[in-house]
């Protein structure tokens, strides 16, 4: 872990690092990785967790080691959250959020919006304020092909629902002093499309040594780089990097290839809207 962090953090450019999974706290050496990244001068370090915080994670690091501890919570109640995230998860996750806040950690929550939980989203700011959560990520469900269906139910929310329901909730949360971040998803007509894989520098690094430029490509053998013998090596052949340079009217190439269910077309076959890069975020800074 330390060698690989050295590989990516040995620059004078500010770097934001997120440990995510699976569940990163399952790895007993995660605190070692966090402290190593801190020593290397990372601008920010975040851990995304399902809330279980294995290996006594909160007692293995200090609030100074970490900028944010980010919990996935997909409902206001156990009745909505647990069918999505697992039996008993709501109670464990909210108890550990409260514990982390008590111990002085900055806590954020990631809420992945789907048709199963969008109706509880407007109540979330009050719960987050009660729990002492400082930052709220509203994420759009990005399931591929058939996995976007659960028991015959379409989990994806429509553009109309996303555009009408998300901004008011973001505003309500920021009015309560919470920093809110959510993806743009649908570009306005006059907005320029840009692919972060082409214009920014993000690396999605997997334990098997694969390194991707686009988070949607994970699990597929089209990674741009691989780590071998402590070096970052560009892959030959067809990789995501070559696909990212394609210019298509739908916007994001990988969305078109992997999540075509997100797209709608008119009778002439023209896309009704363009999908932005999933890394393009909108923010509401806390109003208090
Ligand atoms: S999500 Fe789409 S636009 Fe963003 S990096 Fe991946 S391919 Fe590019």
DSSP-derived secondary structure for 65-107 = T-SEEEEE---SSHHHHHHHH-TTHHHHHHHHHHHHHHTT--E
Secondary structure tally for the chain: helices H, strands E: 10, 13
- pLDDT of 288 reads 64
Does residue 98 surpass a pLDDT of 80?
Answer: yes
Does residue 262 surpass a pLDDT of 90?
Answer: no
Cβ neighbours of residue 208 closer than 8 Å, sequence gap 6 or more: none
Out of 2.60.40.10, 3.20.20.80, 1.10.150.130, 3.20.20.70, select the CATH number for domain 2-186+277-284.
3.20.20.70
Coil/strand/helix, residue 276: coil
Cβ atoms of 193 and 274 within 8 Å: the answer is yes
- pLDDT of 158 reads 85
The closest residue, in CA terms, to atom 8 on ligand 1 is 195
Atom of ligand 1 nearest to the CA of 240: 7
**β-pair partners for 107:** 69
Res. 148 pLDDT band, cuts 50 70 90? low
| Residue 77 CA to ligand 1 centre (angstroms) | 33
Q: In the chain, helix, strand, coil percent, each to 5?
A: 35, 20, 45
CA distance 112 to 137: 8
Res. 157 pLDDT band, cuts 50 70 90? confident
| Residue 93 CA to ligand 1 centre (angstroms) | 31
Q: pTM for this structure? A: 0.93
| Residue 196 CA to ligand 1 centre (angstroms) | 6
Asked which of 23-37, 149-163, 187-201, 202-216 is least confident by mean pLDDT, the reply is: 149-163
Q: Largest Cα–Cα distance of the chain, in whole Å? A: 59
Atom of ligand 1 nearest to the CA of 251: 3
Burial of 181 (0-12, 13-18, 19+ CB in 10 A): middle
3-state helix/strand/coil string of 171-238 = HHHHHCCCEEEEECCECCCCCCCCCHHHHCCCCEECCCCEEECCHHHCCCCCCCEEEECCEEEECCCC
The closest residue, in CA terms, to atom 6 on ligand 1 is 214
CA distance 82 to 120: 14
| Residue 8 CA to ligand 1 centre (angstroms) | 21
Cβ atoms of 137 and 112 within 8 Å: the answer is no
pLDDT tens digit string along 65-90?
A: 999 999 999 999 999 999 999 999 99
- pLDDT of 150 reads 58
Residue span(s) of the chain under CATH 3.20.20.70 come to 2-186+277-284
Percent of the chain whose pLDDT exceeds 70: 95
Atom of ligand 1 nearest to the CA of 202: 5
Residue 275 beta carbon below 6 angstroms from any ligand 1 atom = no
| Residue 54 CA to ligand 1 centre (angstroms) | 32
């Amino acid at each position: 872990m330390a060698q690989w962090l050295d590989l990516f953090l040995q620059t004078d450019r500010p770097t934001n690092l997120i440990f995510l999974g699976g569940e990163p706290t399952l790895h007993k050496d995660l605190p070692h990785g966090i402290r190593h990244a801190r020593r290397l001068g990372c601008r920010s370090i975040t851990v995304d967790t399902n809330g279980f915080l294995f290996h006594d994670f909160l007692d293995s690091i200090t609030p100074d080691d970490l900028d944010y501890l980010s919990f996935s919570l997909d409902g206001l109640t156990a009745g909505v959250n647990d069918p999505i995230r697992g039996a008993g998860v709501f109670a464990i996750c909210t108890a550990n959020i409260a514990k982390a806040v008590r111990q002085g950690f900055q806590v954020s929550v990631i809420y992945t919006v789907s048709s199963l939980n969008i109706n509880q989203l407007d109540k979330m700011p009050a719960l987050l304020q009660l729990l002492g959560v400082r930052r709220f990520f509203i994420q759009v469900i990005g399931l591929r092909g058939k996995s976007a269906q659960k028991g015959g139910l379409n989990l994806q929310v429509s553009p109309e629902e996303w555009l009408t329901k998300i901004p008011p909730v973001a505003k309500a949360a920021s009015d309560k002093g919470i920093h809110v971040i959510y993806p743009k998803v649908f570009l306005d007509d006059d907005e320029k499309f840009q692919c972060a894989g082409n214009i920014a520098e993000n690396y999605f690094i997997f334990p098997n040594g694969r390194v991707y430029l686009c988070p949607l490509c994970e699990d597929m053998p089209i990674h741009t780089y691989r780590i071998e013998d402590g070096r970052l090596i560009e892959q030959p052949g067809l990789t995501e990097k070559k696909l990212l340079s394609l210019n298509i009217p739908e916007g994001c190439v990988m969305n078109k290839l992997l999540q075509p269910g997100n797209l709608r077309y008119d009778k002439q076959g023209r896309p009704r809207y363009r999908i932005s890069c999933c890394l393009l975020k909108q923010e509401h800074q806390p109003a208090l």
